[in-house]
Structure 1
Amino acid sequence: MTTPSSKKGIDDASLLAPCFVPLWLRQINTYPVNQVLHTRDPPNMLDHIIRIYQTSVASCPQCLCKESHNTRRPWIFDSKIPIDYYYALGPQAAIRTSPNFRPSFKNAEDANGRCDYVNILNSLLREENEEKMILYENFSQYGVTVQTDPKNPHRATIEIPGIHDARPSIQPGDKMLLRPHYPVPLANYLKGFQSNQQRDRVEIRAEVIRTVRGRSNRKGERINDRVILTWLDSKLVPLFQSFHFNVRFIPSNIVHQRCLAALTWLSTIKPAIAKELLYPTKEPILPDYSPSSDSCHGKDLNEKQSAFVQMVLTRTAHPSMETVRPPMVLTGPAGTGKTKTLLVSILRTLEMEGDHKKRILVCTPSHTAADVLTRRLGQYLSSKQLFRMYEAERPVEMVPAEMLQFTRQGAQGGFTLPLIKDFLAFQVIVCTCSDAHIFNQAGFSNRLLRVRRNCLATYIQSQIQRSHLKMSGEILGLQETHFTHLFIDEAAQATEPETLIPLSVVVDDEPNSVKVEIALAGDPRQLSPNIYSRWAADGLQTSILERLLRLPSLGGRSHLMGPPTSSTWTTMDELIEYSFQREDDHKHLSVFLTMSYRGHPSLLIVPSKLFYFDKLRSIHPTINNCEDKWCSVMREIESMSKIAYPDDVTHTKQASWPIHFRGVIGHDLSVAVESFWGSNSWSNEQEAEEILQIVQTMVREGVSTQSIGIMAAFRAQVLLIRRLLRSHDLGAVNVGMVEDYQSVEREVIVLSLTRSNESFVPFDISRRVGLYMQPKRVNVALTRAEKLLIVVGNPKLMKKDKLWGEFLLFCRHYGCWYGEVDS
Structure 2
Amino acid sequence: GEYPIEVTCSSAEEILRFSADAIFTFERIDIKRSKFSMLRHLTCSRQNNLMEELAPQSKFEKPRRGFGVKDLISFTYEGTRPTLAGRNKLEKTLKLGEYKVPEKIRSALKKKKIMLPTNNVVKMGQTLHSKLTPENYRRKFSLLLYLEEIQQTVDRKIYNMTNVFITKTKGGNNFRLKVPGLLERRPSVVVGDSILVKMLGPNGNGQPVSYQGYVHQVEQEEIVLGFHKKFEQKFVTGMPFAVEFQYNRYPMKLQHRAVEQLLNAEQLNFLFPNYLKSQFHPLKCPNNLRLYNQKLESNKQQVQAINSIVFDQSQVPYIIFGPPGTGKTVTIVEAIKQVISHYIECHVLVCAPSNSAADLLTERLREHVDVRKLFRMCAQSRPLVEGPDFTKDVCNYNQANHEFFFPSKKELMEYSVLCTTLTTAGRIASADFPNNHFDFVFVDEAGYASEPELLISIAGVLKQGGRLIMAGDPKQLGPVIFSHHAKVLGLSQSLLQRLHDSFEIYGKGEENSYDPRFITKLVNNYRNHPDILDEPNHQFYDGELKACADELERNCLCGWSELPQKNFPIIFRAENGVEEREERSPSYFNRKEAVAVYNYVENLLQARGNGVTPNHIGIISPYRKQCKKIQQLLRKIKGYEKIKIGSVEEFQGQERRVMLISTVRSETDHLVEDLKQQLGFLANPKRMNVAITRAKALLIVVGNPEVLSYDPTWKSFIDYCWSHGGHTGFHFDPSAGKAAHFFNEFHFGK
Task: Assess same fold via TM > 0.5.
Answer: yes
1:126 maps onto 2:146 in alignment: yes
The verdict on how the C-alpha distance between 1:310 and 1:31 changes in structure 2, with shifts beyond 3 A counting, is same
Structure 1 contact 206–229 (Cα < 8 Å) conserved? yes
- Asked if 1:441 corresponds to 2:404, the answer is no
The residue correspondences of 1:638-717 to structure 2 (distance < 5 A) are: 638=564, 655-666=566-577, 669=579, 671=581, 675=584, 677=586, 683-701=589-607, 704-714=613-623, 717=626
Offset, 1:348: 0.8
Matches of 2:158 and 2:407 in 1, distance apart? 40
What is the CA distance between 1:427 and its match in structure 2?
0.9
Write the deviation string for residues 648-682 of structure 1: whole angstroms up to 9, x where unpaired: xxxxx5x1232111223455x475x95454xxx55
Tell me what 1:40 maps to.
81
Q: Which residue among 212, 216, 223 is the counterpart of 2:219?
A: 212
Q: Is residue 488 of structure 2 the alignment partner of residue 494 of structure 1?
A: no
Counterpart of 1:701 in structure 2: which amino acid? Answer: A
Among residues 412, 416, 419, which one is paired with 1:423 in the alignment? 412
Following superposition, the deviation at residue 786 of structure 1 comes to 2.3
Find the residue that maps to 1:206 and give its secondary structure.
strand
Q: Per-residue deviation at 1:209? A: 3.7
Letter in 2 for 1:310: N
Q: 1:587 aligns to what SS in structure 2?
A: coil
Asked if the contact 2:514–2:520 (Cα under 8 Å) also holds between the matched residues in 1, the reply is no
| Residues 81-140 of structure 1: per-residue CA shift (max 9 Å, x gap) | 59xx9xx99x99xx97x9x89856899895353342222222222222222222222322
Secondary structure of the residue aligned to 1:778 is helix
Asked if 2 retains the 8 angstrom alpha-carbon contact of 1:33 and 1:202, the reply is yes
**Equivalent of residue 141 in structure 1, options 152, 157, 161:** 161
| Aligned 1:70-219 pairs, distance under 5 A | 74-75=94-95, 77-79=96-98, 81=100, 103=115, 110-149=130-169, 153=173, 155-181=174-200, 201-213=208-220
Residue aligning to 2:393? 405
Deviation at 1:750, TM superposition (A): 1.9
Pick one of 310, 329, 338 that aligns with 1:339.
Answer: 329
- On the 8 A contact 1:182/1:201 being kept in 2, the answer is no
SS of residue matched to 1:176: strand
1:306 aligns with 2:257: no
Alignment partner of 2:81: what SS?
Answer: coil
* Contact 1:14–1:143, Cα closer than 8 Å, also in 2: no
**Structure 1: how far apart are the matches of 2:628 and 2:113?**
33
Q: Which 5+ residue runs of structure 2 have no aligned equivalent?
A: 1-57, 117-124, 734-750
What root-mean-square deviation, in Å, do the aligned CA atoms of Structure 1 and Structure 2 show?
A: 4.0
Distance 1:807 1:697, change over 3 A: same
User: How far off its partner does 1:271 sit?
Assistant: 2.0
Residues in 2 aligned to 1:205 and 1:779: alpha-carbon distance in whole angstroms: 42
Alpha-carbon spacing, 1:398–1:42, altered in 2? closer, same or farther (3 Å)? farther
C-alpha deviation, 1:805, in angstroms: 2.9
Instruction: Give the match for residue 250 of structure 1.
Output: 246
- For residues 720 and 126 of structure 2, the distance between their equivalents in structure 1, rounded to whole angstroms, comes to 40
State the distance in 1 between where 2:303 and 2:99 align: 45
Moved more, 424-433 or 288-297: 288-297
How do 1:275-354 and structure 2 match up within 5 A? 275-283=269-277, 285-291=280-286, 293=288, 295-301=290-296, 302-315=299-312, 318=313, 325-352=315-342
CA distance in 1, matches of 2:501, 2:468: 18
Report the number of matched residues. Answer: 657
> Could you tell me how far apart the structure 2 residues matched to 1:746 and 1:624 are?
11
Pick the aligned partner of 2:714 from 786, 801, 804.
Answer: 804
Give, as a single letter, the amino acid of the residue that structure 1 aligns with 2:701. V
1:523 partnered with 2:517: no
Letter in 2 for 1:698: L
Match in the other structure for 2:34: none
| CA gap 1:334/1:620 in 2 versus in 1, 3 angstroms | closer
Instruction: Supply the distance in 2 between the matched residues of 1:204 and 1:820 (Cα, whole angstroms).
Output: 54
Q: Which has the higher strand share?
A: 2
Q: CA deviation at 1:598?
A: 1.4
Q: Distance in 1 between matches of 2:550 and 2:653?
A: 25
Aligned equivalents of 2:410, 2:270: Cα separation in 1: 34
Superposition deviation, residue 165 in structure 1? 2.1
- State how 1:342-741 maps to structure 2 within 5 Å: 342-352=332-342, 357-408=345-396, 415-446=404-435, 481-508=436-463, 515-538=465-488, 539-553=490-504, 577-578=506-507, 586-620=515-549, 622=551, 626-627=555-556, 630-631=557-558, 634-636=560-562, 638=564, 655-666=566-577, 669=579, 671=581, 675=584, 677=586, 683-701=589-607, 704-714=613-623, 717-718=626-627, 721=630, 732=641, 734-741=644-651
Identity of aligned residues (%): 26
Q: 1:790 to 1:437 in 2, by over 3 A?
A: same
Pair 728,424 (structure 1): closer, same or farther in 2 beyond 3 Å? closer
Contact 1:14 1:144 in 2 (8 A): no
SS at match of 1:126: helix
CA contact (8 A) 2:200 2:240 kept: yes
The 2-side partners of 1:34 and 1:421 are apart by 42
Secondary structure at the residue paired with 1:379? coil
| Aligned equivalents of 2:157, 2:442: Cα separation in 1 | 37
The residue number in structure 1 matching 2:255 is 259
Decide whether the 8 Å contact of 1:33 with 1:200 is kept in 2: no
Contact 2:84 2:405 in 1 (8 A): no
Per-residue CA shift, 1:584-640, capped at 9, x if unaligned?
77221011111122143322111111111111112236599832xx346x31364xx
Deviation at 1:782, TM superposition (A): 0.8
TM-score, structure 1 normalization: 0.71
* Mapped contact 1:387–1:428 kept (Cα < 8 A): yes
SS at match of 2:653: coil
- Indicate if the aligned counterparts of 2:333 and 2:365 stay in contact, CA closer than 8 A: yes
What is the letter of the counterpart of residue 422 of structure 1?
Answer: E
Q: Paired residue for 1:455?
A: none
Deviation at residue 495 of structure 1 after TM alignment: 0.9
